[in-house]
Structure 1
Amino acid sequence: MADTAATANTEIPVVPADDATTDGVRRRDFINIAAISAAGVGGAALLLPLISQMAPSQDVLAESTTEVDVAAIEPGQAIKAVFRKQPLFVRRLTPAEMAAADAVPVDSLRDAASLADRTREGHRDLLVTMGVCTHLGCVPLGAAEGEVKGEFGGYFCPCHGSHYDTAGRIRKGPAPTNLEVPEYAFTSDTTITVG
C-alpha cells in the first residue's frame, strides 16, 4: 500500500518544449493538413465527373433556340416550325382576326388573356404559340392551308375536340389553358428568336 501511495504522489517531470514545436507547425498538424488536402482533392476529382455529366449535351444546346424568318408570312397565313422537338405555330393575323380577338370579353374566357398579352408590342399582328394542345399534347390543326380551324377560326385539336380562337385562346373543349406562348424576341423586323 505504501508503494501505491508513493507512486500516486510522484509527479511526472515536465519536459520543456523546444522552440520549433511551439512557434511552427508540429508534425501532427502537418499530417492532418496533408490528409485533409488529399481528401479534398480526391472529393473534387470524384464530384467533377458527376457534376459535368449533368450539363446539357451539344445537340440539346443546339435546339435551345430557334430562329424563324417571318418576312414571307402574309396576313392570314401561318407557318409551322420546330422548337425543342415540338411544333411551333407562327401566324400573321389579319385586321379582321385581330378585331375578332379584341371583341371577346377577356373575363368570359376560361384562361383569361387578351391578344395584347399574347403578342409583342409593335408586332401585334404576329402570334407565336407552341403547336401542342394543352389537354393531352396532340398537335392542333389550323396552321397549314386547308386545315380545319375550328369554330372560332383559330386552331382545332382533332384528338378531343378543343377549339382555339385566332389568338390561340381556348374557347371550347377539354383543354384547360390557352396554347402556350414561348419566350421569344424580335432580333430584326423580319426575324424572331424563340427560346
Structure 2
Amino acid sequence: MSTAEHAETNRRDFLYIATGAVGAVGVALTAWPFINQMNPDASVLALASVEVDLAPIAEGQEITIKWRGNPVFIRHRLAAEIEAANKVAVTDLKDPLARNANLPDSDPATDANRVVGGKEQFLVMMGVCTHLGCVPIGNEGEYAVVEGNTKHGGWFCPCHGSQYDTAGRIRKGPAPENLAVPQYAYLSDTKIRIG
C-alpha cells in the first residue's frame, strides 16, 4: 500500500468516525426533551414529603391527606382498636407481612410492626385498596370495633368487598395484601413527616 492510499484510508476512517459521533450527538439531543418530559414536574416534587401535625386528631378520629396524589389515612386509634389488633395471630392473617416501608420486607404483620416509633395509637397507611386501587371506607366492615352503636377502626372497600382490620391488615375479600404503610418518621411527639 502506498503512502497516498494509506493517507486516504486514514482520512476515510476519520470521516466515518466523525460522522457517527455527530449522528450520535444529534440523536441524543433530539431524544433528550422526550426523556426529560418523563421526570416529575415541580408540583409532584414539592409533595415528595409532607409534614402532619397529629395534635388536632382526637382519639377515635381519622383524617385523610393527599401525598404524591394518593390518599393517606392517619387514625388516632382507641385502646379497644389496638387491643383487637393485638389479639389477632399473624398465622390467621391472609397477608402475614407488615408491608411497612420503615421495616424490612420480611417483618411479620403484628400490630406493633404496622406503626412507627412505638406510638401504636397513631396508624398511618396508604388509603388505596391493594386489590384494584379503590379507596376503602373507614369505620366499616366486620373487623371494626363496635362500642354501643358506633363502629371504630376497620376499613371496607365496597367495590369488591375487601375488609381490613383495625391495623389495616386484609382479613377478607379479594385484596392480596395489607394496606401499605408509607415511609414516615416522628419529628416530635405530635408531628410526623411522610416521605
TM-score w.r.t. length of structure 2 = 0.72
Q: Specify the structure having the higher radius of gyration (Cα).
A: 1
How far is 1:52 from its partner?
1.6
Match of 2:78 among 86, 94, 101: 94
1:31–1:171 CA distance, 2 compared to 1 (3 A): closer
2:186 maps to amino acid: F
1:172–1:45 CA distance, 2 compared to 1 (3 A): closer
Match of 2:141 in 1: 150
Asked if 1:119 is matched to 2:111, the reply is no
Match of 1:52 among 36, 41, 56: 36
Structure 2 unaligned segments of length 5 or more: list them. Answer: 97-108, 145-153
How far is 1:92 from its partner?
1.6
1:170–1:28 CA distance, 2 compared to 1 (3 A): closer
CA distance in 2, matches of 1:75, 1:150: 20
Q: Which runs of structure 2 are paired with 1:20-169 in the superposition (5 Å)?
A: 31=15, 34-112=18-96, 113-142=109-138, 148-153=139-144, 154-169=154-169
Contact 2:163/2:173 (<8 A) preserved? yes
CA distance in 1, matches of 2:168, 2:189: 22
Q: Deviations over 1:128-168 (max 9, x none)?
A: 111122233332222xxxxx422221112233333221101
Greater RCO (Cα-Cα under 8 Å, separation 6 or more):
2
How far is 1:179 from its partner?
1.5
1:170 maps to amino acid: I
1:104 maps to amino acid: V
Match of 2:176 in 1: 176
How far is 1:30 from its partner?
5.7
1:34–1:151 CA distance, 2 compared to 1 (3 A): closer
TM-score w.r.t. length of structure 1 = 0.72
CA distance in 1, matches of 2:17, 2:158: 69
1:40–1:83 CA distance, 2 compared to 1 (3 A): same
Identity score, percent: 53
CA distance in 2, matches of 1:84, 1:46: 30
CA distance in 2, matches of 1:43, 1:135: 42
CA distance in 2, matches of 1:136, 1:35: 51
How far is 1:94 from its partner?
2.4
Contact 2:117/2:186 (<8 A) preserved? no
